[in-house]
Amino acid sequence: MVVYAAEQAVAIAAVRRACTLTTAVFNNLVKGETLVKGDKSPVTVADLSAQAVVNTILLHAFPSDPIVGEEDAADLRENKVLCARVIELANEVLSVPPSELAEEKASWGLGEHRSEGEVLQAIDRGNYEGGRAGRMWTLDPIDGTKGFLRGGQYAVCLALINDGRVELGVIGCPNLPLDPAIPDGPAGALFVATRGRGAFQYPLSTVVGSKIPPVSLRMPSLPFENLSFLESVEKAHAALDTNAKIAQLLGVKCEPVRMDSQAKYAALARGDSSGGVYLRLPANTEYREKIWDHAPGSLLVEEAGGIISDAFGKPLDFGAGRFLGKHYGVVGAGKEIHQKLLEGVQQILKEEGKLA
Ligand SMILES: Nc1ncnc2c1ncn2[C@@H]1O[C@H](COP(=O)(O)OS(=O)(=O)O)[C@@H](OP(=O)(O)O)[C@H]1O
Ligand SMILES: [Mg+2]
Ligand SMILES: [Mg+2]
Ligand SMILES: [Mg+2]
């Protein structure tokens, strides 16, 4: 089993720095600092500069590793004002010298100022096409951009994939309560999973984190009636009516919990709201899921003792390129109930005429 200790340290530092940036931007986001992409989804200066930060650190630490990142710099090259803002934001974070508390190293490219060309090139290093062979990173600099914009849940998500298999996942959730039992308590949680070595939560802030040891995550084993469905906020992202029918069939009593981003996977792995089920069935079957939207979250849940598959029980395929392989939906739950959940999902899909 490969340990990936160096990769884990770099990925944690990169995600922490990116979260510092996104938190600062949220508090100062100016109208007009958001663009609408070709697929009508939003992208902000925070998504772009967070991608610049993570990719710059990866470039220094692992220069030959390719990166499948969500964003690219094409729109910035056309927009001087936003471009200047992204360069400024990325530098505010990258130029801070390595922190001993966070066990960072200068060789990760920290403590230096970057030129416009370097920042744009770093963003565009996310253009790798992915695939089945070799080692690559996948990055979603802000997963749940809509959640970020409304002050809700979002996540900075980074994963290492080798030969199509997710080996390491790091997720920073700046707005997620550190202790799910105290929803109004301190927020900011960092989730780390390495294949075969478990899933852990750390405080996102190193100042707080320097004194608190990581918590090992184990999903609770509970009957359906005690569980909550973890669902998307956006109706366009998942068939929420279908979820409601499946919940009723399985005897789920609790109201669904809706939140943006892979924070849902973190809440599932951690057993928030006394346990959950992840259900993301397509509202539009034309939509193909992207690898960066599921890579670290799925490993986190598996390492916490759960199973993630599509609606037919097939494991998610991260080796098919920038998109996930051919799948219908994403279904996640504890080992003991996953099969029963699949049966419920398939029965309702059949009743709705969605299965051939
Ligand atoms: N039509 C459609 N169907 C399914 N998924 C879609 C769709 N459109 C977008 N996306 C992707 O959803 C990502 C956010 O997922 P969430 O689970 O956070 O959805 S929701 O925002 O909670 O409602 C979001 O990730 P970010 O772009 O990183 O925010 C998108 O990659
Ligand atoms: Mg997006
Ligand atoms: Mg995303
Ligand atoms: Mg994103």
User: What DSSP assignment string belongs to 70-130?
Assistant: S--SHHHHT-HHHHHHHHHHHHHHHTSPPPTTTT--GGGTTT----HHHHHHHHHTTB---
| ipTM (interface pTM) | 0.93
Give the residue extent of every domain in the chain.
5-216, 224-351
User: How many A from CA of 100 to the centre of ligand 3?
Assistant: 31
Of the candidates 297, 301, 224, the residue with the CA atom closest to the CA atom of residue 270: 301
- Which residue, by CA, sits nearest to atom 11 of ligand 1? 237
Residue type at position 162: N
Is the CATH number of domain 5-216 2.80.10.50?
no
Fill in the DSSP letter of residue 290: B
Residue whose C-alpha is closest to residue 269's, from 173, 142, 345, 160: 173
Ligand 1, atom 10, residue with closest C-alpha: 237
Percentages (nearest 5) of helix, strand, coil residues in the chain: 40, 20, 40
Ligand 1 center from residue 51 Cα (angstroms): 17
Q: Look up the CATH number of domain 224-351.
A: 3.40.190.80
Write down the pLDDT at residue 318.
98
Options 22, 44, 47, 72, the catalytic residue: 47
Taking alpha carbons only, the member of 170, 192, 14 closest to residue 102 is 14
Q: What is the mean pLDDT of residues 27-53?
A: 90
Q: Please identify, by atom number, the ligand 1 atom nearest to the C-alpha of residue 142.
A: 28
233 lines ligand 1 (CB under 6 A): yes
Residue pLDDT, tens place only, 80-115? 999 999 999 999 999 999 999 999 999 999 999 999
pTM of the entire predicted model = 0.97
105 Cα to the center of ligand 3, angstroms: 29
Six-digit token string for 47: 């998504």
* Nearest of 86, 113, 121, 85 to residue 97 by alpha carbon: 113
How many angstroms separate the CA atoms of 351 and 345, rounded? Answer: 10
What is the average pLDDT score of the chain? 95
Question: From atom 24 of ligand 1, which residue's Cα is the shortest distance away?
Answer: 144
Residues with CB under 5 A from ligand 3 (ion): 140, 143, 293
- CA dist 161 and 134 (Å) reads 8
Per residue in 186-199, pLDDT (tens digit) is: 999 999 999 999 99
Whether 124 sits among the annotated catalytic residues: the reply is no
144 lines ligand 1 (CB under 6 A): yes
Percent of the chain with pLDDT over 90: 90
Which residues does 353 contact at the CB level (< 8 Å), separation at least 6? none
Lowest mean pLDDT among 5-14, 74-83, 205-214: 205-214
Sequence-ordered strand ranges (E) for 222-356: 228-231, 257-258, 276-280, 306-309, 330-334
Q: Judging by DSSP bridges, how do beta strands 67-69 and 135-143 pair with one another?
A: parallel
In the residue annotation, 39 being an active-site residue is answered as no
Determine how many CB atoms are found less than 10 A away from the CB of residue 325.
18
